[in-house]
Structure 1
């Protein structure tokens, strides 16, 4: 499959998956709330996000950075390469199973770590949810392993479509909750074991099905998981994994600070009777912000990552630089256009989706850092293809440090602005991460005698994009200001569609007038 076909397939799958994810988020907010007013929404966010962050800590970053380049190299290593792949998968899968059991047993401590300021009643509810949610860790690891194997073999469709099926299962669970159980918007003492089991059990079932679905395409390509003991041939892998793990540790340490600050703000607002942004609001805003990143950035980079890894195995640095440059331009185009839409229409988007503009105010601030987040992602993947994990580690350290400082400074703000302050720190950190990733990759390429692309051409592209984003934000704001925010749902949808089309059209038109041709068909 060509890169263009692979990217198209993944973008379609991701678009469907994100659409279903939106529906799931809408139903979840309807069931348990999405701001500080709902105890269930806050405790479920604590319990259900813990598996994701613990997965990232123990395996997520390592698997994404290490598996594809290593498996691509092993494909050309004959029987020895296959044995090394078997040993790598054995260590990851069995180690992940053991870690999942231990972490599930530690649910009370994990809940406390992520929300030290909560009352015992809130922590008890979150802990009962966490016992159901933490087994997701193993299935997240399994999905990451199996999808990376498929990607290394050039199979991209199945890993991209599996999350869509997972979202359907999650939606089904929430619909059962809404139809058969009491409202989850009450206080902690209104939650029953049955409510916890249906909500959290269906969330874990969705992740399990997402992983198990990949066994079908693996069987079709003739791959079998063979458990093989030992660490022979994993020396380079372990070195890369160590650097990657340190970067993930830095990121998770920063999230611990963010989680506690945001959780305490949500608790305070609940006590004061103020409906404002809390940790679950930040999480939902992040989900919205990552839609264009998931559809375009991840799709483009995933399709080119295997080719970068193959070029690195051939020591073709010029090809790696060209592929990285090929990814960064469309990623910048889409992420900046999305930023304009989110900055202008964030509150209206969440008013239409969730019946409240509160989450949208957080989205407006988070979105400012979207382009930095996406560009750093592409550059770090390029470094990983070169089997350089030190650069991404430094990048993650910078992002973690600045976002931590931002969260701590947010403590100085009133509780209704605390999460907004956290979002501002994250946005700034993403730009600092982009600059750091660029400098580290440039240093790496120059070390091997390859001059990275850039110069006046890159500055011209940046100038065009900046001009377009300012014009589109100004035009979109003028449309919203002239029309005003209507009260009826259909009128709000109409305004959202009109202003959204206007912002995007202005962005595309200004870029086109200034000579940008990013939207022209490209071949891969």
Structure 2
């Protein structure tokens, strides 16, 4: 399949998966809450997020940085390359299984680390959920490994569609919880072992299915996992993996600060009887913000990453520079357009989806940093293709430092504003990370003998898009303020559709008038 076809297939799969993910999120909020008023929603957020963050800490960033470039190189090394791939997969899968068992046994301590201010009753409920959720770590590792093997072989569709199947199973579990069990909106004492098992167990089963489904396309391409012990041929990867791991550690340290500050604010608001933003509100807002990132940025970069790695193996720096620029232009266009819509319509969006405009206020603040988040992702993947992990480490250090500082500063705010302060710090951090990643990649290319293309045209293009976003977002805010928010779902959904179309149409028109031609470039490609 061509690169364009691969990108299109992944975008379609991601769109379906994200749509199902939103449906799952809507049902989850209905089942256990999405703000400070519900204890179940806050405790499940800690329990079900811990596997994702621990996966990122022990393997996630390293796998993404190492596997594809290494496997692409191994493909050209014949039997010796295949043996290196087998050793790499053996180390990751066996090590991941051992780590998962140890971390699951440490569930009480893990919950305490992420929510130190919670009462023993809240932590007890979260710990019971965590025992069911933490086995997800192994299946997340397995999915990452197997999907990277498929990506390195140029097979992208399966790893993009598997999360859709996972979301379907997750939806089934939440529906069973909603219709067959007591409400999850009560106190911590109201949660029975069966309620915990159904909600948390099906969440883990969904992640397991996501990984196991990839065995089918692997068999079709003739790939067999052969466990081979030893470290021969892998020593040169240690530096890259080491820098990547340091970056991940910095990010996880920042999340520990964020988690504790946000969970403390949520508990305080709950005790005061105030319905305000909490850690799970931040998570739901992040889910919405990452929609364009997942559909466009990840799909586009995943397809181009294999080509970048191949170009790096040939030392074709000009091609890598061109591929990076090819990705950053449409990514910026989509991210900035979506930011305009989120800033204008955030509370209305979450009112329609969750019945909670509170989450939308968090979304408005988070969206400001969306373009920085997506652009840093593209630029860091380019650096990884070049086998350079110092640049991404520096970027992650800047993002983590500013995020943690913002979260700590948010402690000075009233509890109902704490999560908004955290979101502001994250947005600033993502924008600073974009600048850092940009400068790091240009320095790497220069040091290797390639003069990067001039940045003035790109900067002017971003300025045009920013101006269009400000104008269209202001128009959307004015429209909603003028009409007011209807009380019924149908009226709210109608206003959201009309306002959303208006904001995006105005963005496209204004950016075109200002001279942006990204849409034409996309058609030609």
Query: What range describes the TM-score normalised by the shorter chain of this pair?
Result: over 0.9
* Equivalent in the alignment of 1:341: 341
Cα distance in 2 for partners of 1:236, 1:455 equals: 34
1:213 aligns with 2:224: no
Question: Is the CA contact (8 Å cut-off) linking 1:325 and 1:453 kept in structure 2?
Answer: no
Cα distance in 1 for partners of 2:8, 2:43 equals: 38
Cα deviation per residue 1:392-435 (whole Å; 9 max; x = unaligned)? Answer: 00100000000000000000000000000000000000011001
* Equivalent in the alignment of 2:230: 230
1:152 aligns with 2:152: yes
The TM-score with structure 1 as length reference comes to: 0.99
Cα distance in 2 for partners of 1:175, 1:309 equals: 43
The TM-score with structure 2 as length reference comes to: 0.99
Cα distance in 1 for partners of 2:459, 2:216 equals: 46
Cα distance in 2 for partners of 1:466, 1:178 equals: 43
Cα distance in 2 for partners of 1:2, 1:482 equals: 48
1:332 aligns with 2:332: yes
Paired residue secondary structure (1:519): helix
More off after superposition, 191-200 vs 237-246: 237-246
More off after superposition, 187-196 vs 510-519: 510-519
Cα distance in 1 for partners of 2:293, 2:117 equals: 33
Kindly state the Cα deviation for residue 514 of structure 1 after the two structures are TM-superposed: 2.1
Kindly state the Cα deviation for residue 145 of structure 1 after the two structures are TM-superposed: 0.2
Cα distance in 1 for partners of 2:286, 2:513 equals: 32
Map residues 343-358 of structure 1 onto 2, 5 A cutoff.
343-358=343-358
Paired residue secondary structure (1:309): helix
* Equivalent in the alignment of 1:105: 105
Cα distance in 1 for partners of 2:268, 2:479 equals: 36
Map residues 422-461 of structure 1 onto 2, 5 A cutoff.
422-461=422-461
Question: Is the CA contact (8 Å cut-off) linking 1:4 and 1:523 kept in structure 2?
Answer: no
* Equivalent in the alignment of 1:465: 465
* Equivalent in the alignment of 1:276: 276
Runs (4+) of structure 1 exceeding 6 A deviation are: none
Kindly state the Cα deviation for residue 523 of structure 1 after the two structures are TM-superposed: 5.4
Cα distance in 2 for partners of 1:221, 1:512 equals: 45
Question: Is the CA contact (8 Å cut-off) linking 1:65 and 1:384 kept in structure 2?
Answer: yes
Give unmatched runs, 5+ long, in structure 2. none
Q: Number of paired residues?
A: 524
* Equivalent in the alignment of 2:87: 87
Kindly state the Cα deviation for residue 256 of structure 1 after the two structures are TM-superposed: 0.3
Map residues 195-210 of structure 1 onto 2, 5 A cutoff.
195-210=195-210
Kindly state the Cα deviation for residue 237 of structure 1 after the two structures are TM-superposed: 1.6
Kindly state the Cα deviation for residue 220 of structure 1 after the two structures are TM-superposed: 0.2
Kindly state the Cα deviation for residue 329 of structure 1 after the two structures are TM-superposed: 0.2
Paired residue secondary structure (1:422): helix
* Equivalent in the alignment of 1:388: 388
1:487 aligns with 2:451: no
Kindly state the Cα deviation for residue 238 of structure 1 after the two structures are TM-superposed: 1.7
Cα distance in 2 for partners of 1:318, 1:48 equals: 43
Map residues 30-429 of structure 1 onto 2, 5 A cutoff.
30-429=30-429
Cα deviation per residue 1:33-72 (whole Å; 9 max; x = unaligned)? Answer: 0000000000000000000000000000000111000000
Cα distance in 2 for partners of 1:5, 1:522 equals: 13
Kindly state the Cα deviation for residue 522 of structure 1 after the two structures are TM-superposed: 4.2
Kindly state the Cα deviation for residue 456 of structure 1 after the two structures are TM-superposed: 2.3
Cα distance in 1 for partners of 2:228, 2:376 equals: 36
Cα distance in 2 for partners of 1:462, 1:116 equals: 42
Kindly state the Cα deviation for residue 239 of structure 1 after the two structures are TM-superposed: 1.4
Cα deviation per residue 1:460-499 (whole Å; 9 max; x = unaligned)? Answer: 2122111111111121112112211111110100100000
Cα distance in 1 for partners of 2:128, 2:460 equals: 55
Cα distance in 2 for partners of 1:329, 1:453 equals: 14
Kindly state the Cα deviation for residue 455 of structure 1 after the two structures are TM-superposed: 2.8
Paired residue secondary structure (2:519): coil
Paired residue secondary structure (1:66): helix
Over aligned residue pairs, what C-alpha RMSD do you find?
A: 0.8
Question: Is the CA contact (8 Å cut-off) linking 1:380 and 1:392 kept in structure 2?
Answer: yes
Question: Is the CA contact (8 Å cut-off) linking 1:35 and 1:275 kept in structure 2?
Answer: yes
* Equivalent in the alignment of 1:504: 504
